[in-house]
Amino acid sequence: MSKKKVKFLVVTYTPTIKKDNDYYSYSPYVDEMDVWFRYADEYRILSPNTYPTDFLSKPFKSKSIRYYHIPFIAFNRLGIALKSLLVLPYIIFQLYKAMKWASHIHFRSPGNVTLLGSIVQIFFPSKTKSVKYAGNWDPNSIQPISYRLQQAIFRSTKLSKNIKVLVYGEWPNETKNIIPFMSATYSESEKLDFKERNFDKNLKFVFIGAMVIGKRPLLTVKIIESLITKGVSAELHMFGDGDLINDVKAYVESNNLNNSIFIYGNQPKEAVKKCLLDAHFSILPSKSEGWPKAIAEGMFFGAIPISTKISCLPWILGYGDRGILIESDLENAVETILSEINKGKTYLNTLSKNAQVWSQQYTVNRLEKEIEKITKG
């Protein structure tokens, strides 16, 4: 009996840009989708083919991707909202046509396109489906109505059949559609044995994330500045780019922090890894997170995570057993970090080891096995 072909469709708001003979998209998303595509015989993407701002991009490995292009849509400004409303019938038609072709439908959620897709998929109850929900699944968090609506549709066992919704963290009282899922950056071969750090010398903090309001890079700088003012020997290494990078650089310059705070912009994975290998702390005081990739990366090598109490982060940090949970105001955050530092190197090395042991469960190898299970239904 011949094996049934897996015809894999990706529905996403992330743009797909054609350059020469390659399709490009957002780099971390490309890395993961290249894994998903390994377990499909044919694959197509439905997404916008333009985007209003630049983003870190790279090409997909496959040369055989086929593409349903749709216009970029948004509803945050009146002019573009009106244009978006006019093209909705075309997008819905493209969604229906693409889903009719597919044997497995994969959504990258949340987003305006996946909201429409969540409605159209109701008419294909027999097809297998998966949702990678990259946002905050916390049912008690404040989120846009469009996010709540697609969550409700995907969660419903009546509206969404044959679907696995992959969410970050474990949440109580969920339907059978909801599956806890973790991303990964490093492989089994990159695991290292735990090595105690010296917390008596200069403390090395690492920030990995976009330089945007949601990641609070300026708050991070001010936290380190305040720790230094209070007598802590500390330095901060910042990786990432974004709208606020010049503001952060200007603050560092005007406050004479150049010898303590180092801003690198976007860097290759190996450069980030090299910095993390001897880091004491990985800090990310975000406003919102889905899977806090940067925090998990630091934990993999024993950097103690410091984060705000949002999304699944309290669970990831073991509610304080493998990291430091802070509030989002500067004074409170600094006092919490100081209190933890003052507990001494034995306590801090315990946090470091707990973080590393937990994070090293989630490797690229394990991720690939989980993806293979999902694509095979």
- Backbone φ and ψ for 63, nearest 5 degrees, come out as -100, 0
* pTM, to two decimals: 0.83
Classify residue 144 by its DSSP letter: -
Dig out the tokens for 303 from the structure: 């950097």
Mean pLDDT of all residues in 246-250? 97
- Mean pLDDT, the chain, rounded, equals 92
Q: Is residue 13 part of a domain?
A: yes
Q: What amino acid is encoded at 334 in this protein? A: V
Classify residue 187 by its DSSP letter: -
Whether 138 has a pLDDT exceeding 90, the answer reads no
- CA pair distance 191, 186, nearest whole angstrom: 8
Same domain (yes/no): 21, 159: yes
Dig out the tokens for 78 from the structure: 């009146």
With cut-offs at 50, 70 and 90, classify the pLDDT of residue 52. Answer: low
Per-residue pLDDT tens over the stretch 305-326: 999 998 888 989 999 999 999 9
Whether 55 has a pLDDT exceeding 80, the answer reads no
With cut-offs at 50, 70 and 90, classify the pLDDT of residue 48. Answer: very high
Mean pLDDT of all residues in 13-32? 89
- Interacting residues of 245 by C-beta distance below 8 A, sequence separation 6+: 211, 217, 263, 265
Mean pLDDT of all residues in 3-20? 91
Same domain (yes/no): 223, 320: yes
- CA pair distance 53, 72, nearest whole angstrom: 12
CATH number for 304: 3.40.50.2000
Mean pLDDT of all residues in 11-29? 90
Same domain (yes/no): 370, 321: no
Q: How many domains does the chain have?
A: 2
Q: Is residue 2 part of a domain?
A: no
Domain that holds residue 199: 188-359
With cut-offs at 50, 70 and 90, classify the pLDDT of residue 377. Answer: low
Whether 263 has a pLDDT exceeding 90, the answer reads yes
